[in-house]
Structures are given as structure tokens and as C-alpha cells.
Amino acid sequence: MALTEQELRTLDYEPDAGGHFGDYGGRYVSETLMAALSELDQNYQMLKNDPEFQREFDADLATFVGRPSPLYHAQRWSNAIGGAQIYFKREDLNHTGAHKVNNTIGQALLAKYSGKPRVIAETGAGQHGVASATVAARLGLECVVYMGADDVERQSPNVYRMKLLGAQVVPVESGSRTLKDALSEAMRDWVTNVDNTFYIIGTVAGPAPYPQLVRDFNAVVGREVKWQSKEILGRYPDALVACVGGGSNAIGLFYPFLKDTEVAIYGIEAAGRGLSTTEHAAPLCSGRPGVLHGAKTYLMDNSDGQIAHTHSVSAGLDYPGVGPEHAYLKDIGRANYVGATDDEALAAFHEVSEVEGIIPALETAHALAYTKTLAATMRPDQTIVCNMSGRGDKDIFTVAKMEGISLT
């Protein structure tokens, strides 16, 4: 049920003791993992307030990742659209090329402090896999990355990057051969090897405490936008826009602004070939509540209650669920969730490349597509911050193939 503006301003947006955001979240896992999750939760709650842990995390973000990332005025694109002024939060300029490294730095440090010599990860577009392999190499940890076989094929540059960094990449042939199945396989590995393995989950989905800790590590994005917008604009932006698959880049931007209700929030899902079809990955737009990967959230299922196959031109958004905090924000009315189709994302991919000289990730291109639509409805004295969550180097082969262009 949607809350009033006053209620949204005063709401405590933290999960309860069981890891629930309202009706969503929790831990729906086997007994084998309950002890591991409880241990992880205890370690995280202790370490997040530990000065030494925070000092090491902040230092890595500054000197290894290269933070803060710039808040860039896309002036030519703004002028061409003729509405609001658009700013990009340049997470594409981070080491490894996306926002994912903010989270993997934090989780790898948790693994180090927990005495776990082996880390595993799932990946869709490959950005989280690269970020996990990167921090594992830096800390001397064994790293195994699970990736859907279809994604291995369409994201081959990132597969090679992971291998260069010393990670083992395991193609997952089961199910839809995409991100959902990679995450399932990673969780099976963790059940088997829980004593020596830390699971670096790549999004704000999964059982508690993952949605909270991934959000907290990525919230550096929104915190920076707060002071950068005050410095550049003298105020907060009128709207925030980010793409949503599992939802980590979006919640990282949104979370610090949740109580600032004058700032509108838009999460953009993958509408694929259209929300009126079954070929999309937009559970918040057209799904229903259920349990997936250890948490209650919105998901896409069929009439038999089985998880539905999804489709998106973007491997990183091709997921039938979403982080439980996004489900909660939808229900209480704090965030708006809409879809952008494959065609709209591809058009934005080309347009921003040609007008601003920035090649965005296909995931980000979904947010850019809606940013253009939204900006056209706003005044020139208003502002939008769109999270440029990753760079598009990884996607050029996919886009070229779709357009009949051979790069070999």
C-alpha cells in the first residue's frame, strides 16, 4: 500500500531482524546455509562499524577503484532533447568498468576478515565476474565464477578478462543458460563448500543479509551524488534514473535519497520485446510476489508456478526476479518502475555514443532510454541524474552481430 509523503520521509528503510523489507526478503534456504548466513550477518553487522574495516574499504575505493566517480553534465544530449538537464553518474569510469566493484571490494574484505580462502560469484553481463576476479587476484583468493552458457557466448570479452585475472569460469548449461541459472549453481557450490568459501553475490537479491550489505557497499554512489549535486547545482536533482535487473546499481543510487521525497525515483526494467509479450525481464512491471533464490520478492512465473524464461538484449538485466528492497519501494510508492524495450535501449546506446562520446553498457542504455522520455516532459531548469552503471565495451560484439556487422 502506498504511503503518504510524510510517512515516506520518516520511514526507517532498514530491514528488520529477519532481513525483511516489509513483506519481502527474509531467508528461504536450506538448513545447511542458515548457519552460514547467520555467521555472515553477525560478521557484517560487527565489521561495518569497525574503523579498521571501514578505513581499508574507503582506501580501496579511492586508490584501487578510483572514487569518487564524476557527475557529468550531458549538455549536448540535454539540449538536443530540449527538456531537463541530464547528468551522468560515471560509474563506467571505475576500475573494471562498472559499479560492481564497489560491492566486490566490500565483500572480498568480508571474506578476508572471515578467513575464507575461496570466493565464488555468479555473473550475467560479466561485469560482476570481472570485478570479483579482480579483487580476488588482489587479495590472493581462489575465485570461481558461474556464468550462463548463453551469456558466456554473448559476453566473450569479459570471459577472457576473468580468465586473465586467474578465475575459473564455469559455463552453466541448465535451464535458460542465463543469470538465473548461474546464481542457482553458485548457491549449490556454496552449500557444498560453505566451510572454506565466501559467496560474493552480485546484486541485492538473495537471502538476508545480502540485500542489505550489497546495498550498503554500493550506497557510496548515492552519497557522492548528494554532495556533488549540491556542489554543482546547489541542490539535489529533481529525479534519479537507473536500470534494474537484480537492482544493485539502482539501490546504490536511490538509498541515500529515500527520505528526500522531493527527489523522484525511477527504476527501469528490461521490457525486451514488449511487456505485452512473455519475452521480457520485468518482474516489477508485470510479475507477482513469490520466492526466488532465498528471498520473497516480485518474480516472473508461469501458470504452473514455475520460474519463467526471460529475455533481454542485455545479459545483466536478463533475470526473473529483483532485490526485495525494490519490491518494497514499489509497494509503498517511493519508487516508480517502468520498462524500456530492446529497441529503445539500442537506440539510446547509439544516440549517447554519437552525441556524448560515451559508449554505455546495454544495461545502462535501458535507463538512458527512459531518461530521454522523462527529460522531454520536464523544464530546462530541472535536472535528472542517470546512473551510467557500466561501459559498453563488452557489448560491441553483441550489438554488431544484431546489426549484421562482422568484427572478425
d(CA 131, CA 95): 8
Burial of residue 193, with CB atoms counted within 10 A of its CB: 0-12 exposed, 13-18 middle, 19 or more buried? middle
Residue 14 CB: number of other CB atoms within 10 A? Answer: 8
Contact 366, 386 (CB under 8 A): no
Kindly list the catalytic residues.
Answer: 100, 122, 389
Burial-class residue 278 by CB neighbours within 10 Å (0-12, 13-18, 19+). Answer: middle
C-alpha torsion angle, residues 166, 91, 228, 4 (rounded to 10)? -110
- The 3-class secondary structure across 36-99, one letter per residue, is HHHHHHHHHHHHCCCHHHHHHHHHHHHHHHCCCCCEEECHHHHHHHCCCEEEEEEHHHCCCCEC
The label of the residue with cell 571505475 reads 94
Q: Cell match 572514487: residue? A: 67
* 89 DSSP β-pair partners: 71, 387
No. of H helices and E strands in the chain?
17, 14
Q: Which residues pair with 147 in a beta bridge?
A: 123, 171
Please count the residues of the chain.
Answer: 408
CA-closest candidate to residue 267, choices 286, 289, 287, 284: 284
